[in-house]
Amino acid sequence: MTLAANKEPLHSDATTYIYASEIWPTPVRAKGLSLSISGLFLSSLAILQGAPAGFANIGWRYYLVFISVTFVMVVFMYFYFPETKKLSLEEIGHIFGDEVAHVDETTAVALDQKGAGGMHVETAAERG
């Protein structure tokens, strides 16, 4: 069990929180994340409220409900959710249609010289 818990593809508990926080635009990220987590907990509540009746009526086959829903969601996520691994929030915003400001090398140097509050400005040269 320990080996299975350490393999990244076999668990997705934190993914719910991380993906939901990445896909919302910056101005509404906190509200969007709270909406996403509320949906997660409301669905958990619905599952837990229905579990006693499900186990009483169909027994062990109630687990098949979870297996089938998980399978459908994995297929849906594979085809419809864009990959966000190793992308900056700006790049993720661009994938979801947000307008992203691009900074050239001269502007980045000027911002650095002004002491832009310890802000790091990623340039095209740094992205490779």
Query: What was the pLDDT predicted at 59?
Result: 94
DSSP codes of every residue in 20-65:
HHHHS-GGGHHHHHHHHHHHHHHHHHHHHHHHHHHHHHHGGGHHHH
**Is this structure's pTM higher than 0.75?**
no
State which amino acid sits at residue 105: E
* pLDDT score for 11: 45
In a domain, 92, yes or no: no
What value does the mean pLDDT of the chain take? Answer: 75
Predicted confidence band at 114 (pLDDT cuts at 50, 70, 90)? Answer: low
Q: Is residue 91 part of a domain?
A: no
Give a yes or no: residue 40 inside a domain. yes
- Whether residue 4 is predicted with pLDDT greater than 50 in this model: the reply is no
Domain of residue 108 covers 98-128
Q: Are residues 19 and 40 in the same domain?
A: yes
17 and 51 in a single domain? The answer is yes
For residues 58 and 24, which has the higher predicted lDDT (pLDDT)? 58
Tell whether the model's pLDDT for residue 108 goes beyond 90.
Answer: no
- Do 46 and 81 lie in one domain? The reply is yes
45 vs 62: CA distance, rounded Å: 16
Do 103 and 66 lie in a common domain? no
Number of independent structural domains in the chain: 2
pLDDT at residue 125 tops 60: no
Tell me, yes or no, whether 33 lies in a domain. yes
